[in-house]
Every structure is written in structure tokens, then in C-alpha cells.
Amino acid sequence: MSEHSLMVAMRDPKYTKELIDETALRLFVEKGIAETTIRDISSAAGIAEGTLYRHYVSKEHLAWELFSKNFTAFAVELDQLHRKHDTLKAKIDATIRHYCTFFDKDPILFSYLLLELHGQLRKVTPDMPNPVTVLRRFIGEGMARGEIPRKDREIAAAMVLGVVLHVAVSKVYGRTKQSLTALADSIVAAAWRVLEA
């Protein structure tokens, strides 16, 4: 038995990866990806540095996987949601509620996607499911059918996300405790007020 040997508490492998994901996500949001070291993550998670590399080939891959997996999942859900509704109004309603629910379910994950969007965006290929593409398409379709006035095209497109995202952002930066879902009705109403000019 070597002098370096220690007790090794084996845990469920599934649990270890989840532990890494949760810890990394939290630290990435708190400090940013670049300011978070592998040592930060591993010590906060109570694992060894090498353990992290059993699950991810690099810190960059870890950050990217946490982003892309959830980014595309969100886009796919949004797309499926849109297929269930016909009118623009119903789609906007569903979209905003989807954002609100997602925020309330996991505010840290939501913050991560929001805050790291710019940094990760260069790796997003056009073939990846993308919330922005989904939203552009349905705004365009709604406008083609005359459901919203064409003159407000650009404002309208930015607005749908603008309303809900900025309430969310003010919560990420602020200390508000209230859930976003509780505000969904007001947000839907506000967005629609802008669009049906």
C-alpha cells in the first residue's frame, strides 16, 4: 500500500456527472466561464480534478456541452409547441409561457444560456435547432398572413423576446423572488399590445 493511498468513496457514476454539471453551471453563472477554473469546479463539487476529465475532454467541451445541449433542447421544445398552435396570437402566448416556465424551472440554467450566448454563439452552426430561427419564422409567417402590421416588422420580431427576456434579465440581475410564470399573463398582454398596433 503506497503512502499516497486514500479512501476512495465510490459514488454512482451517473450522480458524479450530474454533480459536475450542476456545480460547473452554478460557478459559470456566478463568475463567468473564463474566471472559473477546473480547480474551482472540482473542489466545489468535492471531486478530484482528474475526475472531471473522465467525463469531459476539456473545460471548453464542458462549457459548450452545457450550453448546446440545453440551447437545442429549448429550441426543439419551442418548435414542437408552435406546431400545436395555428394563430400568431396563440403561438406568442405559448412562446412567452414557455420562456417563463423554463426560467422558473431552472433560473441558473436560463441565466447561463442568456449570459453566455454571445461567447458560445460562434460555435452555433446553422443546422443546429435555434430558438432565434424558430421565432423569426413564425413572426414572418404571421406577418405574411397579415396578423401583425408589416411596418413594425423589425420591432415586432425583437419585441416578442424583448418583453419576456428583459423581465427575466431584471430578475437575474436583481433580487426579485417572484416567479416569472406569475407574470406571464401581463407579459403576453404587453407583447400583444405592441404587435397589434
The one of DNA, a second copy, none whose footprint includes residue 2, by CB under 5 to 8 A per kind, is DNA
The closest of 161, 46, 185, 44 to 110, measured between CA atoms, is 161
The one of a second copy, DNA, none whose footprint includes residue 70, by CB under 5 to 8 A per kind, is none
The one of DNA, a second copy, none whose footprint includes residue 145, by CB under 5 to 8 A per kind, is none
* Rounded-to-integer distance, Cα 142 and Cα 135, Å: 11
We find the least distance from the C-beta atom of residue 146 to a second copy, in angstroms, to be 18
Answer for which of 18, 34, 58, 123 binds a second copy (CB under 8 A) is 34
Nearer to a second copy by C-beta: 107 or 162? Answer: 162
Answer for which of 83, 84, 118, 150 binds a second copy (CB under 8 A) is 118
Answer for which of 76, 159, 175, 177 binds a second copy (CB under 8 A) is 159
Residue 140 interacting with a second copy (CB under 8 A): no
DSSP state of 86: -
Phi and psi at 117, nearest 5°, equal: -50, -50
* Rounded-to-integer distance, Cα 143 and Cα 153, Å: 8
The closest of 141, 170, 167 to 156, measured between CA atoms, is 141
How many C-beta atoms lie closer than 10 Å to residue 130's C-beta?
19
* Rounded-to-integer distance, Cα 58 and Cα 37, Å: 11
Q: Site residues (CB under 8 A) for a second copy?
A: 32-35, 115, 118-119, 121, 151-152, 154-155, 157-159, 161-163, 165-167, 169-170, 173, 176, 178, 183, 186-187, 189-190, 193-194, 197
